[in-house]
Every structure is written in C-alpha cells, then in structure tokens.
Amino acid sequence: MAKSSYPTLLQGTLDLLILHVLQRGPMHGYAIAQTIHLLSDEVLKVEEGSLYPALYRLELDGAISASWGVSENNRRAKYYEITERGRKLVSEQQNTWNRLSLAVQRVLAR
Amino acid sequence: MRGLFLKLLRRRHLHRDLERELAFHREMAAAQGNPVPLGNPAVIKEQALDLWRFTFLENVWRDLVYGARSLRRSPALVVSTVLSLALGIGVNTTIFSLAVEFLFSEPSVSNSRSIVSVRLGGNSHVKPEVIEFVRQGGVFADVVGEREESFVNWNDGTQTRPIFGMVTTKNFFTALGVPMAYGRGLLPGDPDEVVVLNNHFWRKHFHSDPSIVGRSINLDGKAYTVVGVLPAQHRTLLGFGFAPDVYLPYFIEDTLLAIYARLKPGMSIDKARAGVTLVAKRLDTVLPEPYFKYGTSCEVKPVSGFARIKKQREALALGLFFLMLQIVLGLVLLIACANVASLLLARAASRRQEIAVRLSLGASRRRLVQQLMVESLLLSTVGAGFGLALAHIVATLLTRIRFPLPFPLRLQFSLDWRVATYATCLAIIATVVCGLLPAWQSVRESIASQSKREPKLRLRRALVMAQVATSVIVLVTGSLFLRNLLKANSISPGFDVRHTLRAEAHLPPARYEDQQSKDRYVDQILHELAAVPGIEGVAAARILPFTDQATRGQGLKFPDTGQNVHASFSWNAVTPEYFRAMSIPVLQGRSFLISDDGENNVAIVNQEFVKRYLANQRAVGRVFLWGPDGNTPCQIVGVVGNTKTLTIGEDDRPQLYEPLAQINDDRTRIQFVMKSTLPPVMQLDPVRGVLRRVEPAAGTEVATLFSSIGLAFLPSQVGAALLGSAGVLGLLLATIGLYGVMVYSVERRTREIGLRVAVGAGQRNILRMVLFDSLKITAMGSALGLCVALVATRPLALFLVQGLKPADPLTFGIVAVILGLTGVIAAWGPVRRALAIDPMSALRHE
C-alpha cells in the first residue's frame, strides 16, 4: 500500500460517516466523499476504492437507497438517500462511537 | 434464492451502473482539480460486485472456460487423468449398481413397502387351504401364495422341455397390483388353464409378438390360454434377479406355497405378527398338522428396502460382500486419484510462474485455489461421465451372462438416480482428493518462489508411497481371493465330478399321480440306462449335491443305549447304485440293496454323522427310532464318506441317506446320476435318447455333472474374478504413478547426474542410484501397506474357505515380491533415460 499523508479511517467508521452525511439529504458518491473531506477540515480523504464498496454494502443492508438523477452540472448521477433503517443505525453507531472515543481519550490522558 | 436469481438477471445492468458511477466520480474529481484518486478500478469493481455475490459464480464460469482452454493445450495430461478417473469411477459405479439391483430393487407390485412375507410354525411353504384361512382371518388387507420352483413341460410343437414356472394363487396379480405389458394378470375367476408369460420368455420364444395374448400354449399336455405378458423390468418378490419363465395358477394337489400378504394401512409389523399368531392358533384346531403347530412361531418380514436386508440372512451376507467390494474399489479409486493428484502437482510446478504473476497482481490465494480446483472439477466430471458410460457397458454385458445356476436369473441394471447420485458423489470426492493438495501446494510454493527454490518432490513421493501402500492392501485382498479359488478347486467334493453324468426328468403330473407309476418309470429308466455301452452304475436320487439341499432336524432315539439326540443333517433318498455311480466310498457296512424297499427301514450315514452324533462309535447295525410318531425303528446299515452339499467351501455336514423305495416321493421331478467309462460328453445323446423313448411326454435335461455343479464354485469364482481384477487394476495404477515420479525425478536431476558422470561415476553407480530410489519408495510403501493389510483384511475370514486365513504368509510373500518387481519395472524407463544423459549437454541444461 502506498503511504498517504492522510490518516486512515478506522474500520467501520466510514459507514457511520456516510450515513451521517446523508442525513443532510440525497447525495451522489462524489459529493459524499467531498462532504466528508470538507467537514473534517480536509483531514479525512475517502478514496473511491473504499467508498463504493461501502455504499454498495449499505445499500444491500437497506440502510440507504439509490436512484439515478441529474447532477448539478447536468450529468446523470446515482443519488443515495438514507432510509428509516439507516437513521436508526446512525444513532446507534454514533452512541457506540462516542463511548469508544471517550474511552480511548481517557486512556491516552493518563 | 429468488433475490440471487434476480441479481443474476440484472448482472449486466448493475455492471454498467457501477462503471458509469465511477466514470462520473472521476469526471467530477478532474473538473474540480482534485488529483485522480488512487486505486485500481478493476479491484474496486470486483470488490463492489463481490457484495452482489454473483462474482463467485462468474468466477467459476470464467475459471471453467480458462481451465478448459489450458487443459486443451495438454492433451496427454487430460487423457491420462480422465482415463484413471473413468476406470476408478466406472468400476465403483458398476459394483454399486449391482448392489442396488441385488439389495435394493423393489419388487414390481404396487406400494411394495406394505408387502410382507409370512411364515407360520417355521414353515416357508404351506398348503393352499392355509393361505385361504389366513386370508379370511382378516389380519391383512390381502394374502397371496406363490411356489417359486416348479417346473412345467412346455411343448413348442417340435419338442418338450422343462421350463421354470411360478405357481401362484389366482388373486396374486390383483392383490399385489402387478403391472403388465400386454393383456392382464391372473384373475380370481379364471379357469385353471391360464398362463402369464415373463417378458424374456416371450421375447425369446414368441419373438415379442403381442398377439400371443388370447392364444394358447401346450403345458404338461394341456392347452393353456395366455392371458398376459409381464413388462421387461418386472421383478419378483423374491428379488436377487430371480425370473421364472411363466406364471400359472396352482393346480397340483398338495402344492405348498409361500405366503405373502399386504399390510392394512398403518399396521405395524409387530401388530401383524400378533394378529397372524392368533389366526394360526385357530388354524391348529381347524386344520391340525401331525408334526408341528402353526401357532408356535410366526414370522412377518418386509420384502423390500433396508428392512429386508436386516431380516434376511442371505441378503445380509450379500450386503457385507458388496460392502467389502465397495471398500476395495474405493481404495482403487483413491489410487487413481493419487495418480491424478501427482500429475497435477507436476503441472502446478511448471505453472509456478503463471501463479506467481497472478499473486503479485493482487489475486487472492483463495481465488487461485478456486481456479485450480475448478480445473480438477472439470477433469473429474469428464472422468465420471466416461466412468458412467463404462459402467453402463459393463452392466449391459453382465446382463447377457448366463450364470451356471439351477434357477433362472436375469439381472436388470438401470442407471437410475441412485447410481447417478453415487457417481456424482465420487466425482466430487475425486475433485477434492485430486485437486486440493496440488492447488494448495502450488499457491504456497509460488509465494516462496522469490527464494528461487526448486519445488520439493517430497509431497509427490509421499503420495506415491501412500499409493503403493494402498495397492498392497487391494492386492492382498485380491490374491487372498485368488488363493481361495485355487484352494476351493483343489478341495474334493467327496464324489467324482469328471466321470459322472446327471439327467433330470419332469413327469407330467396328471399321468404320474400314484407312487407305483413313478416307481415303474424309475425302474425302467435305470434298467435301460444300465444297458447303454460305457455306463457303469446308474442311480436315481431325490437330491443331487450342489443343485439342491434338504436339511432335517429330528430327534433320534437309540433304544440300545437309551441315548436321545437331536440331530440336524442333510437328507437324501437314493437307489442302491448311487454310491457307486458317484464314486462315494462305502467305508463300513454295505450299500443299499434292492431288497431295502421299506419293509424294514434302513439308513446310511456319513462319517461326520458318526463323529457328531454317535461319538465315533460303531455305527453299523445300530437302530434308532424316529418318524412322525417318533417310534419307527430304522437300522444303520452303512457308513459312507463325507460329501459337500451346496458350496465347496462349506464345513462337512452330517448326512443321512434313505433308500428311494422307502420314502413316499411326492415330486414328479426325478434325477438320475450315472458313471461313464467313456468321456461323459459322449454319453449325452445316448442318455437323452433313452429318456425320450421311455416317456416322450416328460421334459428332460441331460448334462455332465462337471458342468452342472458350477453353483458350488460360483462364490469363490465371482470373488476371485472381482477382487483379483481390482488388485491388478490397483497395481497398474500405482505402477503408473511410480513411473511418473521416477521420470520426473530423473529429469530434475539431469544436471546432477551429468555432473556425477563428468567426475567419473560409472553406469553402474547411476543405475544403482535411480533403481534404489524407486525401490526405496516401493519398500517403504509396501511395508506400510502390509502392516495395515494384516489388520484390515481380518474381517475377510468370513468369505474364505476353511483352512485359509486372511494373514496367509504365502499371500503376503507373493504380494511383497510382486511389489518389488513393480519397483524395478517402474524404474526401468527412468534408468535408461538417466544412463543416456550426456554429461556435456547436461551441464548446459537450463
């Protein structure tokens, strides 16, 4: 694997980020990646190599649904939308994440 | 499942979607001045589509195409592997279909699971009145009777010959629901003169002419109307391929019939037994029998499926034999698989580079193993296909064989779902056994290939060693059975088979109802046959050894000592010349005389009888009491040598002979034996002429005793033929495997051998080096195999003749020598190749 200057995402957190971002409304894949990039103050960079498999997985899970639409620059693009199941999932995962990161911080603080 | 199916249909669609989506992503990234994201688009696609699961199926398909293509480039490999597997799977499937036919074939009746065979008071056959009584007893839904071995004389217009008839009650076809090909079965309202033809009899003698139904044929001098023809795949209740020529309603007085019944729906075997016992107890008061009681022991047994095998002793023994055969042939298949695995290992070694490239391009190991496994699946599927074809051919040939049996046997093989399933399972097992090891090995070695190590031969050598060991086990089994055959052939049956003829006459029952007419016939035949030149000693007998057997268990009371023994012996009734005609030695006392005609009861016993029941004491002159009342005196007048009764391998049994004139013979089938000073074959026609002249209406059969005792040798012959060929096949496959490894090893060591020659090694050294290598593998494999065989062949004692133990030192010695020779033969080609290596070109090798 090529070394990158960006920190790699922890396993499983990408799903949470995608779902969280999608709560703002339907988005296509590129927009999801960009939003995560911007919201993280350009720290996190989602590569398409992990983004699309994750999107496909979430779609199969029923956490998001997909449909073809027209993008802002008039191109056909696939838009992803969070489902009811996805919303439930996001709150659950957020709780878990909060507890985990708090615990990690506590350990590192001592 | 439905989802998967839909996804498959939408596969192309999804593929296009993903491609478009990725293209869009890149376009956007480029437009916004972001660098083109890292990542291999092919891998992304694969990963994303993996989620949709059909990648697996797609991969299998792609591997199949790829495998077929790459296999096409190595036809030698394909031919040798497919041949090995086809042989292995073919023989296994053949024996399996034989076992299915013998053990699991369903009789041709409706709902065969509800049919049971019934025995009352320990009797296999009872009077028709008894069957009618049980039927009216109401325990069963219906009750029928059949007499399996009855002969009728069929006159086809030119000659009379005995044919095998099945005598049944008239409700037989309707109660059992026997399917017919033409016409109908017997009906309860039919007259006595009706007949149903078996399919093969109809095909052979009436040229498959359906218009025979309604016409009449001449049986026992009367015209019988043919009412129907059975279909070709008809199977009798008795099973084992038993196939009588015709079916007739019972007509002879006192014919005894076996009882079969259909259980009422939901009725258990135990309940049926309890019910029929009550009926039998009532029977004992209504139709009492002097010698036994119907109600004492009643049995109810299923006639098909697993239940039959558990209950029937013959079926169980046969089942065990098939199980052993199947195990041995399974080992042969393993040897064949090891050959294929060995070849695939060699192939994998030569494909190291290809695999290393694919691994470094990012293919997962699982994916590569899968691809290699698909290749072996391809090979074993083709192998199984050829194997099935082979099994079909062998089975068809087997059905044509006329077995030397005294009753008609017609095997019907069908490659049904059971056989097909079995072959499929074998193919899958073969795939795993052949493919997994080479696939794993090649993937593992390719990872380590950076070190440029030569792939080790260790695995292949171990494989060949295991192969040799397995073939030792198979070979030991095979040669044990060959030794068994030799031993069986050398056992004397106790009488002369080479100078003896036998003849059989089936008298028309209508004209020979009373004893006197039969006696007159026998006397005349004996008289006329004795006058034939070259014939010395003619006798009539109730039973001829190896064709039939009657065991009697009876209480014998000896008034002189007050001793009371319960004796179980083979019984026979013969005329005075019998012992001379059969060359059975009279050891003490005398043979029967014409004057032994029933006035004073006499008997002759054999040595075994004296040993077992008379404590080896004086036998001649002693009197015992027996008979229906247990009080009829009978004097022993002679002691004769032991003879075998049914099979050559059996233990000696006690035997007791009575004069034929002393008993009341209810049969119209009369057998004769005669000794000839000329070769017996030359006497066939003169004897036939005499029989025809004396009673033209009788069906007759004349043969040499040698040709008609085939039954006795059949088990040991069949065993030797089957297991001997299995052993040879196994050895052949192992030799090929050993040869392959030796060739490969010499090829790999070309440089080394060249170097050795260059520094002064002589031909002798090289020869020794290669030969010893081969012998080392053989020796280690054989030692291992012999040790295992010593333990594993122990249960075979069940099938061997007396005096031959599975741990037979001679057998093991022979096998060891054969294997040593195999090691030399397999090394022969490689040795010559090694000797031909030119040091100069060898050093430039690679």
In this prediction, residue B845 carries a pLDDT of 59
* Residue B225 φ/ψ region, left for φ over 0, alpha for ψ in the -120 to 50 degree band, beta for the rest: beta
CB-neighbour burial class of residue B791 (10 A; exposed 0-12, middle 13-18, buried 19+): exposed
In this prediction, residue A4 carries a pLDDT of 45
CA distance B732 to B471: 9
Contact: B27, A75; criterion CB under 8 Å:
yes
Q: What are the Cα distances from residue B540, in Å, to B206, B503, B505, B634, B755? A: 35, 9, 11, 21, 84
CA distance B846 to B833: 18
Residue in B707, B708, B706, B688 with CA at minimum distance from that of residue B698 = B688
- Whether B18 has its CB under 8 Å from any CB of chain A: the answer is yes
Select from B25, B43, B55 the residue whose CB has the most chain A CBs within 10 Å, as the one to mutate to test that interface. Answer: B25
Confidence check: pLDDT of A1 > 50:
no
In this prediction, residue B451 carries a pLDDT of 45
CA distance B668 to B674: 20
Confidence check: pLDDT of B359 > 70:
yes
Question: How do residues B289-332 score in pLDDT, each as one tens digit?
Answer: 766 677 777 888 888 777 777 666 667 777 888 888 888 888 88
Element housing B489 (H / E): helix B458-490
Which of B27, B38, B48 comes nearest A52 by C-beta?
Answer: B48
CB-neighbour burial class of residue B90 (10 A; exposed 0-12, middle 13-18, buried 19+): buried
Question: How do residues B126-137 score in pLDDT, each as one tens digit?
Answer: 888 888 888 888
Alpha-carbon torsion (B353, B742, B71, B380), positive or negative: negative
The proportion of chain A whose per-residue pLDDT surpasses 70, expressed as a percent, equals: 90
Contact: B37, A30; criterion CB under 8 Å:
no
In this prediction, residue B11 carries a pLDDT of 63
CB-neighbour burial class of residue B801 (10 A; exposed 0-12, middle 13-18, buried 19+): buried
Q: Among the ranges B75-89, B139-153, B538-552, B610-624, which has the highest mean pLDDT value? A: B610-624
Q: Among the ranges B60-74, B181-195, B523-537, B736-750, which has the highest mean pLDDT value? A: B523-537
In this prediction, residue B737 carries a pLDDT of 78
b or e along B222-256 (b: 16 or more beta carbons within 10 Å of the residue's beta carbon)?
A: eebebbbbbeeebbbbbbbbbbbbbbbbbebeebb
Q: Give me the mean pLDDT over the B167-184 stretch.
A: 87
Q: Give me the mean pLDDT over the B830-838 stretch.
A: 82
Question: How do residues B692-725 score in pLDDT, each as one tens digit?
Answer: 888 877 777 788 887 766 666 667 777 788 888 8
Contact: B37, A76; criterion CB under 8 Å:
no
How many angstroms separate the CA of residue B448 from the nearest CA in chain A?
20
Question: How do residues B470-494 score in pLDDT, each as one tens digit?
Answer: 888 888 888 888 887 777 777 778 8
Select from A56, A75, A79 the residue whose CB has the most chain B CBs within 10 Å, as the one to mutate to test that interface. Answer: A56
- Whether B19 has its CB under 8 Å from any CB of chain A: the answer is no
Contact present, B22 and A52 (Cβ < 8 Å): yes
In this prediction, residue B395 carries a pLDDT of 81
Contact: A47, B38; criterion CB under 8 Å:
yes
The proportion of chain B whose per-residue pLDDT surpasses 90, expressed as a percent, equals: 7
Question: How do residues B795-806 score in pLDDT, each as one tens digit?
Answer: 777 777 767 777
- Which chain B residues contact residue A54 at CB under 8 A? none
Contact: A49, B31; criterion CB under 8 Å:
no
Closest Cα in chain A to B26: A30
Q: Give me the mean pLDDT over the B636-650 stretch.
A: 85
Confidence check: pLDDT of B178 > 70:
yes
Single-letter code of the amino acid located at B452: K
How many angstroms separate the CA of residue B313 from the nearest CA in chain A?
60
Residue scoring higher pLDDT (B542 or B60): B542
The residue with tokens 């878990």 is A96
CA distance B780 to B69: 39
Q: Give me the mean pLDDT over the B613-625 stretch.
A: 87
- Which chain A residues contact residue B16 at CB under 8 A? none
- Which chain A residues contact residue B51 at CB under 8 A? 53, 56-57, 60
CB-neighbour burial class of residue B407 (10 A; exposed 0-12, middle 13-18, buried 19+): middle
Helices (H), B631-709: 680-694, 705-708
CA distance B107 to A62: 56
Residue in B719, B614, B602, B728 with CA at minimum distance from that of residue B660 = B602
Contact present, B637 and B620 (Cβ < 8 Å): yes
Give me chain B's average pLDDT, please.
81
Contact: B47, A53; criterion CB under 8 Å:
yes
Confidence check: pLDDT of B175 > 90:
no
Of the pLDDT bands very low, low, confident and very high (cuts 50, 70, 90), residue B639 is: very high
Q: Give me the mean pLDDT over the B446-469 stretch.
A: 68
Give the contacts of B642 (CB within 8 A, at least 6 positions apart). Answer: B494, B606, B607, B608, B652, B653, B655
Confidence check: pLDDT of A108 > 80:
yes
Contact present, B320 and B798 (Cβ < 8 Å): yes
In this prediction, residue B403 carries a pLDDT of 65
Q: What is the DSSP letter of B123?
A: B
Q: Give me the mean pLDDT over the B152-174 stretch.
A: 84
In this prediction, residue B636 carries a pLDDT of 92
The whole-model pTM stands at 0.65
Identify the contact set of chain A against chain B, taking CB-CB distances under 8 A: 2, 4, 28-30, 33-34, 47-49, 52-53, 56-57, 60, 71, 73, 75-78
Select from B14, B51, B55 the residue whose CB has the most chain A CBs within 10 Å, as the one to mutate to test that interface. Answer: B51
Contact present, B307 and B296 (Cβ < 8 Å): no
Contact: B51, A2; criterion CB under 8 Å:
no
- Whether B28 has its CB under 8 Å from any CB of chain A: the answer is yes
In this prediction, residue B158 carries a pLDDT of 79
Counting one residue from chain A and one from chain B, the pairs whose CB atoms sit within 8 A come to 58
CA distance B696 to B261: 40
- Whether B29 has its CB under 8 Å from any CB of chain A: the answer is yes
CA distance B21 to A79: 10
Backbone angles phi, psi at B844, to 5 degrees: -90, 0
Q: Among the ranges B23-37, B197-211, B289-303, which has the highest mean pLDDT value? A: B197-211
Confidence check: pLDDT of B37 > 60:
no
Q: Which residues are registered as beta bridge partners of B701?
A: B504
The two beta strands, B182-183 and B257-262, are: unpaired
Of the pLDDT bands very low, low, confident and very high (cuts 50, 70, 90), residue B673 is: very high
In this prediction, residue B457 carries a pLDDT of 66
Contact: B38, A2; criterion CB under 8 Å:
yes
Contact: A78, B21; criterion CB under 8 Å:
yes
Give the contacts of B513 (CB within 8 A, at least 6 positions apart). Answer: none
The residue with tokens 């259980």 is B263
Residue in B344, B338, B324, B341 with CA at minimum distance from that of residue B466 = B338
CA–CA–CA angle B518, B519, B525 (5° rounding): 90
Of the pLDDT bands very low, low, confident and very high (cuts 50, 70, 90), residue B685 is: confident
Quote the tokens at residue B739: 């040869």
How many Cβ atoms sit within 10 Å of the Cβ of residue B219?
Answer: 19
In this prediction, residue B252 carries a pLDDT of 64
CA distance B451 to B459: 19
Contact present, B124 and B271 (Cβ < 8 Å): no
Residue in B515, B579, B499 with CA at minimum distance from that of residue B541 = B579
Quote the tokens at residue B813: 């010695």
Contact: A48, B44; criterion CB under 8 Å:
yes
Which of B20, B39, B49 comes nearest A48 by C-beta?
Answer: B39
Contact: B25, A29; criterion CB under 8 Å:
yes
Q: Give me the mean pLDDT over the A63-71 stretch.
A: 86
Q: Give me the mean pLDDT over the B206-219 stretch.
A: 87
In this prediction, residue B539 carries a pLDDT of 93
Give the contacts of B733 (CB within 8 A, at least 6 positions apart). Answer: B84, B87, B88, B332, B335, B336, B339, B467, B471
Confidence check: pLDDT of B244 > 80:
yes
Give the contacts of B657 (CB within 8 A, at least 6 positions apart). Answer: B571, B572, B573, B574, B578, B592, B603, B604, B605, B640
Confidence check: pLDDT of B813 > 50:
yes
b or e along B464-475 (b: 16 or more beta carbons within 10 Å of the residue's beta carbon)?
A: bbbbbbbbbbbb
CA distance B127 to B132: 9
